[in-house]
Amino acid sequence: MAADCVPTGIPGVDEILAGKGIPRGHTILVSGGPGSGKTTFAIQFLYIGATQHNESGVYVALDEDPMDIKANMSNYGWDLKKLEEEKKLAFINVSPVRVAPSERGGLIQIGMKEFRLIKLLEAIRQAADDVNAKRLIVDPLTIFTLQYPDEIERIYAMRDLMRDLKKTSCTNLLISELRGTGLEREHQFEEYLAQGVILLRTFMRDSRLIRVFQVEKMRGLAIDNQPRPYEISGNGIEVFSKATVYR
Amino acid sequence: MAADCVPTGIPGVDEILAGKGIPRGHTILVSGGPGSGKTTFAIQFLYIGATQHNESGVYVALDEDPMDIKANMSNYGWDLKKLEEEKKLAFINVSPVRVAPSERGGLIQIGMKEFRLIKLLEAIRQAADDVNAKRLIVDPLTIFTLQYPDEIERIYAMRDLMRDLKKTSCTNLLISELRGTGLEREHQFEEYLAQGVILLRTFMRDSRLIRVFQVEKMRGLAIDNQPRPYEISGNGIEVFSKATVYR
Amino acid sequence: MAADCVPTGIPGVDEILAGKGIPRGHTILVSGGPGSGKTTFAIQFLYIGATQHNESGVYVALDEDPMDIKANMSNYGWDLKKLEEEKKLAFINVSPVRVAPSERGGLIQIGMKEFRLIKLLEAIRQAADDVNAKRLIVDPLTIFTLQYPDEIERIYAMRDLMRDLKKTSCTNLLISELRGTGLEREHQFEEYLAQGVILLRTFMRDSRLIRVFQVEKMRGLAIDNQPRPYEISGNGIEVFSKATVYR
Amino acid sequence: MAADCVPTGIPGVDEILAGKGIPRGHTILVSGGPGSGKTTFAIQFLYIGATQHNESGVYVALDEDPMDIKANMSNYGWDLKKLEEEKKLAFINVSPVRVAPSERGGLIQIGMKEFRLIKLLEAIRQAADDVNAKRLIVDPLTIFTLQYPDEIERIYAMRDLMRDLKKTSCTNLLISELRGTGLEREHQFEEYLAQGVILLRTFMRDSRLIRVFQVEKMRGLAIDNQPRPYEISGNGIEVFSKATVYR
Amino acid sequence: MAADCVPTGIPGVDEILAGKGIPRGHTILVSGGPGSGKTTFAIQFLYIGATQHNESGVYVALDEDPMDIKANMSNYGWDLKKLEEEKKLAFINVSPVRVAPSERGGLIQIGMKEFRLIKLLEAIRQAADDVNAKRLIVDPLTIFTLQYPDEIERIYAMRDLMRDLKKTSCTNLLISELRGTGLEREHQFEEYLAQGVILLRTFMRDSRLIRVFQVEKMRGLAIDNQPRPYEISGNGIEVFSKATVYR
Amino acid sequence: MAADCVPTGIPGVDEILAGKGIPRGHTILVSGGPGSGKTTFAIQFLYIGATQHNESGVYVALDEDPMDIKANMSNYGWDLKKLEEEKKLAFINVSPVRVAPSERGGLIQIGMKEFRLIKLLEAIRQAADDVNAKRLIVDPLTIFTLQYPDEIERIYAMRDLMRDLKKTSCTNLLISELRGTGLEREHQFEEYLAQGVILLRTFMRDSRLIRVFQVEKMRGLAIDNQPRPYEISGNGIEVFSKATVYR
């Protein structure tokens, strides 16, 4: 079953993923620091899906305005508006709108949280149906998880989200923000719940910072788990799947 | 008495375990990071038991859907369905089902927790009886322990679980998720309560990450406690019991 | 769209920012330790805008008295008063005034906080309108964020601030205080919310401390993310965009 | 007075203890990680006392079932049952029994705790009297100290325990679980209260893990406080009192 | 305006401060570990002011008894009593006096805190007026800040203190106690609020501890921010402004 | 005034203390890890005072039974009983006695704490008067400070204790337990309050642990603040004041 994979098409990435891509229907965590190209990675995954594999995509924006995302991505020469018009791409903006102070208080009530999860999932399903999506992004997951200060509740909410995403029949990338910067960071519980984990980090080599791509986990696939250098150029992200990050 | 051991049959592992395996009836902690092959290790232990030693096994899934586990494991060429049909293997899914918001609240009530421990043990006993199991997996233990935020309560719950598992006459592996990644991580209390501890970690050697297997503890057995390299290939896990992980 | 950039004019900085500057209308975090020249950087950005690019600026002072800022900046030979008279520069002092003990208690009431955010934004809009500002500084952001001890509330407040700053049509620098000094500091949530992040830090090289400038993130721009040495001289800040900070 | 010492008889240990052993009547902390041989050390101390010095011993088991301890120890060829029959050795099991949920709640009531300390001490005194014990083990102390989340209460409880143990006229080893693994671990308050501290740890040397024995403290005795390598073989623990753990 | 500086007169220090000294009227944090000579630095600043620059000084003692300070300082041959008699120096003791248990409770009531701040400032103003002071010390600041466990309240209190000190027209040194000893210590919020920061620390060089002086920050002045060695001899503190602390 | 010093007489120590000793009447913190010889240092200070300088001493025991202390110290050949009989030495045991559970609860009431401080000071004064003491030990201070979980209360209690000790006209050593073991430990607030700080630690040099003595602070004295090796032999503590602890 894992033999059925969704090629990312991002240079170098599928070579690392057993030459195949991401197992179809799986939910993958893409975790990186500020400026690491997480959103570029996600849009590139959708763009290649829509233009080369005839797979529509949905981008669920929890923080940044989709207008801004499209403006920033225009540098890569990806015509996202055309894809939207062709119903091959949909952006949905579910970032919490600004509310009056009295209403704001409600944001941290449990009932409200449940409502938000249900509403989020409904919006996702609706948009996925509209374009018959096969690829889906939630960016960033952090806005969602921060609403559950209690760890056990957060884990259950994440599990619920992952189970419902499974029903969409999409292959999903959840974008997450790395807090720790060191080599000895703590593993986050999301890394255990997700079916795959991709890390975008920055290391020092010789006299330079280099960007480092690593597939930490990919259930059902014999992956290359070595860290590999990557670059963000005018064409988007490129991973050098044969290069080593160490001297 | 410790002379009676259950061979794991996993390449390299029994050599490290005094040439014997895991003392029969003991409860062992298998602890590793995301993507370290904890579930593969556990299924391989059950598969070899069922096909080479005529010992039936039970897999208690607390997080992942058994359907997904079986799909992911199909890559190793292990015919788990046949074993299920032959009553040599049973999967039980005791992961908490999704509940309505009002019911959800109950999950963190103490009485509910006790109920869950009792219910979990009943389900385990039932499944173990059905296939006359000799080998048993609980994966992951973390879902269970997270429900006890108070440390002393968590220790008592773990002790209760371990004592009841002892009554099943199975040899048990409890799969646990490592949070700390460094060499100087804190020992977890589970490591003291379990009768054995196996660690699956990732270290740096020369210019590569390598996977590292270590038996930290195995009561009643003169073990090799040195860290040893291991790999996850198309045949499952293989430990290189004579190799060193240091240059 | 990102092609439209605001040149900082600070020696070396625009070279690092793809030869262009800061994407117009974006909100950038400028984060540094005590004595790192954060305020100098910000004033230099406004001064060059007003004198070389005919872009007016607003300086929103949340901690230091604008009188003191102007006195300290006089060493660089920047005639800020002339710019104020020409309506090319405006300073607004929104630092919380000293209140009587009974009134003080109100500072930590939620309603009070909302009021302060709204009042802060009104003052900003007013001053920006007065001089038709294109460049805006908030210094330091820390006084603002410290008022939200709850992390999720702080993130929402920051998002609200950033969204409202967007409506001013200014390019904005938010000055922030670094707590951690090490290479393995935790990323702060502000770094994820801002559209760009500039770090001003101090490293050891050979036998000296050196000041280090780094653009960690700049949405919509292919930046040079390498750390580069900088100096604070009688002419303000100068970044050596071709030099390396490592031996 | 300190001249009167109890020889441990464990190879290498008495050489480190000024050629004498443990000052008679003192209470010593033996602290180590999982799999470090703490229980083996303790049983070996009792076994040698009973067979070579005609000193009876009591083993107070707070976690593991004495049946299991005896099974695990059988590998060393120590005939513990014979010693029990000869009234030279007594095992007492004061590990908290499994209780119904309603009764369980009582475990964390303060009155209950006091009761447990008193009951524990009564059981110890009874067993010590039965065999006229001269050597006594409490394993592990951790189960006891975890019941006092308040630090000052924990210290008083420990002091009370130590004072009462003193009245038994036994020489006592309290077995404790090390949490921190690094060289720069924090000292635990138990180390200050106990009259001696023995550490069983694991260090890296050359390309191997080695087990390291260290007497950190032994009141009234001029000890060798250097770390020394030790091994766990078929004969129990052996410390190499002349070897260095560093290259 | 910053051109008007107060020379410290302490050997080596003014060379580091652009050849000038501390900008007149500024409030500077002097932060160091135990035994680093913080009080010596402060008294030397007052003594030189009174004897060489005809500037009177006030020493506000929050912890140590001024009698003890004077006794300890007598070793440097500074005749502080003569200066007191000449009204060139005043010591005020505002350390909290011992109170009866019932009264003690009041110390941590908010109203009491405000009172103390107001009372502290009144005492300062009174003493400053008495000697027409130009230089002022508060030693240690820590006793003051510890009374505000809430971070935002502490920052407001510090700001209030700094603003009121400004009105005295003195140049002020606030003496503060360093907790962290490492190179990667966290910056303290006081370092951001103060107009200058001087650090007195201890580093290792070759085979010795050396005392290290560093001006981290000095608003309005082009400083030398390199760490420099210093010594405490019979003449007080001497900084070697040309020497490096690294090999 | 500081010229009047109390010689410790401990080999090597007075050389480090400007050739003089401890300033008379000062209160010094002696801080070390388990087994570092803190109590030996303190008793040696009293013994030398009584036998060589005709200065009587008082030992205030807050944890260990004075009987045990005397037994442990007998190894050094110091005839403490003779000194007691000659009224040159007094031991007082103010360690909290064991109380019934109901009484126990009172130990953590604030009123009780105040009472204890007052009672402690009365006992100290009484004993100091009895032998006309010039040297006084409180061992360990930790038992005292642990009773004040609130930091500001603890500081006030410590200050009160120090002020009252001052009235005894004794030179005082407060024995304290080091928690952190690393070179980058945090400074403790006691180090700021005390008039002097002596550290007894353990470092690694070449292939051995060595004991390291350091005077971190000694108000009113030009000390040697370099770490120096020390040993505990049959004659007590000896510091090698000319040797370096580094290679």
pLDDT number for residue F215: 97
DSSP codes of every residue in A220-239: TS----S-EEEEEETTEEEE
Question: At residue D106, does pLDDT exceed 50?
Answer: no
Contact C160, C193 (CB under 8 A): no
Asked if C152 lies within 8 A of A107 by C-beta distance, the reply is yes
Asked if A247 lies within 8 A of B207 by C-beta distance, the reply is yes
Give me the numbers of helices (H) and strands (E) for chain B, helices first please. Answer: 9, 11
DSSP codes of every residue in F111-148: HHHHHHHHHHHHHHHHHHHHHTEEEEEEE-HHHHHTT-
Which residues in B lie closer than 8 A to residue D149 (C-beta atoms)? Answer: 152
**Calpha distance E162→E29 (Å, rounded):** 11
Among chain E residues, CA nearest to F194: E34
pLDDT number for residue E99: 42
Contact F168, F162 (CB under 8 A): no
Structure tokens at E226: 């390199």
Question: Among A24-33, B61-70, E113-122, which range has the highest average pLDDT?
Answer: A24-33
**Calpha distance E16→E63 (Å, rounded):** 30
For A244, which of B96, B181, B207 is closest by C-beta distance? B207
* DSSP state, residue D173: E
Q: Which helix (H) or strand (E) holds F8?
A: none
Structure tokens at C76: 């660089």
Residue D134 to chain B, least CA–CA distance (Å): 27
Structure tokens at D237: 């623990």
pLDDT number for residue A118: 79
Contact F83, F52 (CB under 8 A): no
Which residues in D lie closer than 8 A to residue F233 (C-beta atoms)? Answer: 222
Q: Give the mean pLDDT of C37-44.
A: 97
**Calpha distance C44→C200 (Å, rounded):** 15
pLDDT tens, residue by residue, B170-185: 999 999 998 776 666 7
pLDDT tens, residue by residue, F158-215: 888 998 898 888 999 999 998 776 666 788 889 999 999 999 998 877 668 899 999 9
Lowest mean pLDDT among C65-69, C222-226, D113-117, E67-71: D113-117
Residue F49 to chain D, least CA–CA distance (Å): 22
Question: At residue B204, does pLDDT exceed 80?
Answer: no
Asked if D104 lies within 8 A of B114 by C-beta distance, the reply is yes
CA dist F238 to B10, C84, F14, F242, Å?
Answer: 58, 71, 11, 12
SS (H, E, C) D107-152: HHCHHHHHHHHHHHHHHHHHHHHHHCEEEEEEECHHHHHCCCCCHH
Residue that has been written with the tokens 């992980």 in this structure: B245
Instruction: Name the 3-class secondary structure at A19.
Output: coil
Q: Which of A146, A170, A168, A167 is nearest to A158 (CA)?
A: A146
Residue F209 to chain D, least CA–CA distance (Å): 6
As a whole-number percent, the residues of chain C with pLDDT over 70 amount to 87
**Calpha distance C239→C10 (Å, rounded):** 8
pLDDT number for residue A247: 58
For F71, which of D187, D220, D223 is closest by C-beta distance? D220
Mean of per-residue pLDDT scores for chain B: 86
Asked if A75 lies within 8 A of C220 by C-beta distance, the reply is yes
**Calpha distance A36→D52 (Å, rounded):** 68
Residue that has been written with the tokens 């160490």 in this structure: A246
pLDDT tens, residue by residue, D6-49: 999 999 999 999 999 999 999 999 999 999 999 999 999 999 99
Question: At residue D109, does pLDDT exceed 50?
Answer: no
Q: Give the mean pLDDT of F108-137.
A: 76
Among chain B residues, CA nearest to D148: B152
**Calpha distance D69→F207 (Å, rounded):** 37
Q: Give the mean pLDDT of F93-119.
A: 49
Which residues in B lie closer than 8 A to residue D34 (C-beta atoms)? Answer: 187, 191-192, 197, 216-217
DSSP codes of every residue in D47-114: HHHHHHS--EEEEEESSS-HHHHHHHHGGGT--HHHHHHTTSEEEEE-SPPP--HHHHGGGGSHHHHH
Q: Give the mean pLDDT of E129-143.
A: 93
For A71, which of C1, C159, C197 is closest by C-beta distance? C1
Asked if C75 lies within 8 A of E221 by C-beta distance, the reply is yes
Residue A3 to chain C, least CA–CA distance (Å): 36
Instruction: Name the 3-class secondary structure at D216.
Output: strand
Residue that has been written with the tokens 């999720």 in this structure: C152
The Cα angle at residue A36 between residues A34 and A40, in degrees rounded to 5: 115
C-alpha dihedral over F64, F67, F71, F72, to 10 degrees?
Answer: 10
Task: Give the ipTM of the model, two decimals please.
Answer: 0.88
**Calpha distance D94→D58 (Å, rounded):** 12
- Do B and F touch, 3+ Cβ pairs within 8 Å? The answer is no
Q: Give the mean pLDDT of B13-41.
A: 96
- Do F and C touch, 3+ Cβ pairs within 8 Å? The answer is no
Pure H helices in F86-221: 101-104, 110-131, 141-145, 151-167, 189-193
Paired with A231 in beta bridges are A238
Which residues in A lie closer than 8 A to residue C110 (C-beta atoms)? Answer: 101, 105
Structure tokens at D8: 């441990």
Among chain A residues, CA nearest to C109: A101
Asked if F114 lies within 8 A of E107 by C-beta distance, the reply is no
Give the orientation angle of helix B38-52 with respect to helix B66-73, to 10 degrees: 80
**Calpha distance F27→F48 (Å, rounded):** 18
Question: At residue B107, does pLDDT exceed 50?
Answer: no
Which residues in B lie closer than 8 A to residue D179 (C-beta atoms)? Answer: 186-187
At residue D186 the predicted structure's pLDDT band, cuts being 50, 70 and 90, is confident
At residue D156 the predicted structure's pLDDT band, cuts being 50, 70 and 90, is confident
Q: How many CB atoms lie within 10 A of CB D56?
A: 23
pLDDT tens, residue by residue, A192-231: 999 999 999 988 776 688 999 999 999 999 899 999 999 9
Contact E11, E238 (CB under 8 A): yes
Backbone angles phi, psi at E32, to 5 degrees: -160, 170
Asked if F208 lies within 8 A of D220 by C-beta distance, the reply is no
Asked if A143 lies within 8 A of C155 by C-beta distance, the reply is yes
pLDDT tens, residue by residue, A115-155: 567 778 888 999 999 999 999 999 999 888 887 878 778 88
Which residues on chain D place their C-beta less than 8 Å from a C-beta of chain B? 33-35, 63, 68, 71-72, 74-75, 95-96, 98, 101, 104-105, 107-108, 140, 142-143, 146-147, 149, 177-182, 202, 206-209, 232-234
Which residues on chain C place their C-beta less than 8 Å from a C-beta of chain A? 1-2, 110-111, 114, 150-153, 155-156, 159-160, 163, 183-187, 189, 191-193, 195, 197, 215-223, 225-227, 244, 246-247
The Cα angle at residue E184 between residues E181 and E190, in degrees rounded to 5: 75
pLDDT number for residue C153: 81
Which residues in F lie closer than 8 A to residue D1 (C-beta atoms)? Answer: 71, 74
For D108, which of B114, B152, B191 is closest by C-beta distance? B152
Pure H helices in C27-95: 38-52, 66-73, 80-85
